[in-house]
């Protein structure tokens, strides 16, 4: 069986490693921070949830100079894991000296090398010691001018190169207003302006999964116009939410009872998004309620 990827996140203290690990976790990776490098071979042999079939996209291990043995064993470990067939990549994060100084002053945390001497001296010494890791890293990211959202987006782009299943999870939900609005909705569209098949006697008992209801709703010129505009809006908005680093997006489509119009429109939206976003699912919340 093909080995899942192992990604090492390392770099200078204050450069955003915690944010990077959170982004990898959102992308489906099994993440451990401050993993002692000498324990990695033992960890990979353990029957953890990360090693079950299809349970995870891979492993992400956060390593830095908190582990005093990192530099002595790093090259040996990388070579051994590569020999064993693991796909192993290093992501190195760094930032300008002044940016790191400002971040440390804001958090008031101790630098791993800062127990003696000034903070600036510690930052410079850490950069010097980590230079060999930076030189061999597959990905080197300067986070000096990155917001948290921009860093998460950069990490998610790296994650996508190592698994085809990552991405923002999108839920398209149909619902009925008389049963309450979904509290998790990020985008909510009220489609009660569309013609209602509930008032057609032969259609009343059917739901939006039937061809008769779909034809009734979709053949209305108002529906055609609405979908052409709304789908273009979603094409514009979804990548922006993803760029922001959002892990979940819920698009809620509501009609009166949640059985007819909202079901049909939610299905069309799902079909449209699914062409470019594999991590989308469709939920008809109230379709069974009469």
Q: Are residues 112 and 38 in the same domain?
A: yes
Across the chain, mean pLDDT equals: 89
Residue 10 lies in a domain: yes
Residue 55 has what pLDDT? 56
- Give the chain's length: 290
Strands 6-11 vs 88-94: parallel, antiparallel or unpaired = parallel
pLDDT at residue 165, rounded to an integer? 53
Closest Cα to residue 20, out of 74, 63, 54? Answer: 63
Instruction: State the residue range of the domain holding 177.
Output: 169-284
Name the domain boundary from 133, 160, 187. Answer: 160
Give CA separation, 288 vs 67, 89, 194, 207, in Å.
56, 48, 21, 9
Q: Which residue has better confidence, 49 or 241?
A: 241
Question: What pLDDT sits at residue 79?
Answer: 92
Q: Return the pLDDT at 177.
A: 96
Q: For residue 290, tell me if it sits in a domain.
A: no
Q: 């000498």: which residue's tokens?
A: 38
Whether residues 145 and 247 share a domain: the answer is no
Q: Read off the CATH number of the domain in which 138 is found.
A: 3.40.50.300
Pair of tokens at residue 250? 């819920």
| Model confidence, pTM | 0.64
How large is the average pLDDT for residues 133-154? 89
Percent of the chain whose predicted confidence (pLDDT) is above 90: 63
The per-residue pLDDT for 194 is: 97
Q: Is residue 1 part of a domain?
A: no
Band of residue 113 on the pLDDT scale cut at 50, 70, 90: confident
Are 190 and 152 found together in one domain? no
Of 135, 160, 185, which residue sits at a domain end? Answer: 160
């Amino acid at each position: 069986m093909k080995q899942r990827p192992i990604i090492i996140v390392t770099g200078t203290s204050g450069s955003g490693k915690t944010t990077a690990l959170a982004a990898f976790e959102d992308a489906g990776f099994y993440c451990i921070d401050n993993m002692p490098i000498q324990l990695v071979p033992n960890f990979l042999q353990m029957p953890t949830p990360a090693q079950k079939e299809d349970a995870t996209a891979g492993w992400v291990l956060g390593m830095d100079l908190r582990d005093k043995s990192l530099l002595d064993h790093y090259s040996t470990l990388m070579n051994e894991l590569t020999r064993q067939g693991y796909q192993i990549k290093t992501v190195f994060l760094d930032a300008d000296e002044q940016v790191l100084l400002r971040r440390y002053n804001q958090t008031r945390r101790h630098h791993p090398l800062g127990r003696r001497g000034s903070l600036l001296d510690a930052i410079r010494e850490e950069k010097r010691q980590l230079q060999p890791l930076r030189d061999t890293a597959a990905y080197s990211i300067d986070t000096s001018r990155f917001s948290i959202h921009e860093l998460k987006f950069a990490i998610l782009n790296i994650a996508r190169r190592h698994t085809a299943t990552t991405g923002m999870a999108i839920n398209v939900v149909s619902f009925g207003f008389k049963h309450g609005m979904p509290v998790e909705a990020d985008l909510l569209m009220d489609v009660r302006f569309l013609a209602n098949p509930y008032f057609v006697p032969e259609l009343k008992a059917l739901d939006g999964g039937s061809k008769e209801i779909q034809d009734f709703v979709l053949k209305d010129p108002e529906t055609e116009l609405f979908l052409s505009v709304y789908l273009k809006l979603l094409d514009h908005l979804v990548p922006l939410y993803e760029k922001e680093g959002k892990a979940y997006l819920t698009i809620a489509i509501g009609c009166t009872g949640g059985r007819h119009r909202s079901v049909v429109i939610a299905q069309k939206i799902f079909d449209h998004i699914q062409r470019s976003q594999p991590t989308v699912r469709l939920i008809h919340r109230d379709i069974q309620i009469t």
